[in-house]
Amino acid sequence: MTDPPFDLAARLGALLFVSGEPVERAELINHLGCNETELDAALATLRERGPGLGLVLIEHSGAYQLATAPSLAELVEAFLGLDRPARLSAAALETLAIVAYRQPVTRAEIEAIRGVDSSAALQTLIARGLVEPVGRLPTVGQPIQYGTTVQFLQAFGLASLEELPDLPPEISEFLAEEGSQ
């Protein structure tokens, strides 16, 4: 087999291909022997090349993973013989939306927005691997903070959290105000 010289994006592609899990930036930089800027350029190139193989690049809190393009889901599911997972309840979906936009967020904060107890919905999301504890608030009682997982991105066909549609400006302002208190 003749081997063309592989550029940084190709070498990056090979590493992400063999890793079953998202790979941290630092680890990529370490193994590829490049700097932050070069890594970003390589990631951008990979994002362009991926679709040629039906692949997309997923970013989750500074780690990267290759996955099949969301619009090929039906083909892939038929090939792997997978069933669609059961749909989430309205309560779980509402809770998930709040976690996705407000993360890291505590249960009390979720309940303040929804006006109802949300522990069951939160448990469902954790059991489905869509939400996970990501830290603790450094206040009295140190409540657990929750965030979305890379499985959340995969399940909803998002390349990163940035692909979530914006909240109405009025709401964003209000939240920003509240968050800075």
Q: Which residues bind a copy of itself (CB under 8 A)?
A: 1, 3-4, 6, 9-15, 17-19, 31-32, 46, 49-56, 66, 68-72, 75-76, 78-80, 157-159, 163
Binds 147: which of a copy of itself, another protein, none (CB < 5-8 Å by kind): none
- Residue 37 vs 80, nearer CB to another protein: 80
- Residue 55 vs 100, nearer CB to a copy of itself: 55
Binds 173: which of a copy of itself, another protein, none (CB < 5-8 Å by kind): none
Dihedral-angle region of residue 123 (phi above 0 means left; psi in -120 to 50 means alpha; beta otherwise) = alpha
The beta-carbon contacts of 29-37 under 8 Å, at least 24 apart in sequence, are 32/8, 34/8
First to last CA, the chain: 62
Question: Under a CB-based contact definition with an 8 Å cutoff, are residues 95 and 114 in contact?
Answer: yes
Task: Reduce the secondary structure of 68-91 to three states and give it as a string.
Answer: ECHHHHHHHHHHHCCCCCCCCCHH
Return d(Cα 131, Cα 47) in angstroms, integer: 26
Query: Measured from the CB of residue 79, what is the shortest distance to another protein in angstroms?
Result: 9
- Residue 41 vs 69, nearer CB to another protein: 69
Question: Under a CB-based contact definition with an 8 Å cutoff, are residues 51 and 68 in contact?
Answer: no
- Residue 113 vs 137, nearer CB to a copy of itself: 137
Binds 144: which of a copy of itself, another protein, none (CB < 5-8 Å by kind): none
Binds 53: which of another protein, a copy of itself, none (CB < 5-8 Å by kind): a copy of itself
